[in-house]
Amino acid sequence: MRIDWKPGTLIYPLPAVLISCGTMEDGEANLLTASWVSTICTNPPMCVVGIRPERHSHGIIREQGAFGINLTTVSMAKETDWCGVVSGRKEDKFATCGFTKEPGSRLGVPLIEESPISLECQVREITSLGSHDMFLADIVGVRADEAYIDPETGAFDMQRAELLVYAHGGYFGLGDYIGHFGWSVRKKDKTKRR
């Protein structure tokens, strides 16, 4: 039997990402853990990120109009959680976590070198929604770690990357690979895709 609950944000799992912002100067970059993140358009490639106005990164991103989305892995789980509960007003999160800053190739925003995939995002619009503001952004650059690229297909191997996801207050690794988009209607699958 199914029961009714009050309305809530129960669309899970979501990616557990680290939003990077600021500059490449020591102490001038910040990281924010976020899960209210999604792609919203393929052409042009766009995404949305929900950030509370009181967060330190909110003002930095609003002022600069750019940020990075850095996917995280199971091995980065502790640092990912820590960056969500400690303020960048008090800590240099890159330094404390031991992450290597690298400049994005398009916007120069600091990215996390240890991230399997980082996206450079140019803010298009900011909409106040209530507890969070929605940052609608164009994805203008993507940097991937070659260690996770399948040499045969050139595709990013999500399972090997062991990406971290967030679900209702908890962090989880992705489960087993089941199939690629459209596999349920394909008659004979001759290629192995991830």
In a domain, 93, yes or no: yes
In a domain, 125, yes or no: yes
Domain carrying residue 99: 14-173
Confidence (pLDDT) at 58: 97
In a domain, 30, yes or no: yes
Confidence (pLDDT) at 159: 85
7: its two tokens: 């309305």
In a domain, 1, yes or no: no
Q: Count Cβ atoms below 10 Å from residue 18 Cβ, excluding itself.
A: 29
Contact status, residue 134 vs residue 126, Cβ threshold 8 Å: yes
Give 10-residue mean pLDDT values along the chain (194 residues). Answer: 90 95 89 96 97 96 97 97 94 95 95 98 97 98 95 89 93 86 76 56
Q: Report how far residue 36's alpha carbon sits from residue 19's, in angstroms, rounded to the nearest whole number.
A: 11
Q: Which residues contact 110 (CB under 8 A, 6 or more apart)?
A: 20, 21, 22, 23, 24, 29, 68, 94, 101, 102, 103, 104
Contact status, residue 102 vs residue 110, Cβ threshold 8 Å: yes
Specify the CATH number for the domain of residue 51: 2.30.110.10
What is the Cα 74 distance to its own chain's centre? 14
Hey, which bits of the chain come out as E strands? Answer: 14-15, 17-22, 29-34, 37-41, 46-51, 66-71, 101-103, 110-112, 117-128, 133-144, 164-167, 170-173
139 strand-pairing partners: 121
Cβ neighbourhood burial of 30 (10 Å; 0-12, 13-18, 19+) = buried
Confidence (pLDDT) at 140: 98
In a domain, 101, yes or no: yes
Q: Report how far residue 120's alpha carbon sits from residue 139's, in angstroms, rounded to the nearest whole number.
A: 6
Contact status, residue 101 vs residue 24, Cβ threshold 8 Å: yes
In a domain, 189, yes or no: no
Q: Report how far residue 193's alpha carbon sits from residue 184's, in angstroms, rounded to the nearest whole number.
A: 14
Give Rg (Cα) of the chain: 17
Confidence (pLDDT) at 186: 81
In a domain, 182, yes or no: no
Q: How many structural domains does the chain have?
A: 1
In a domain, 130, yes or no: yes
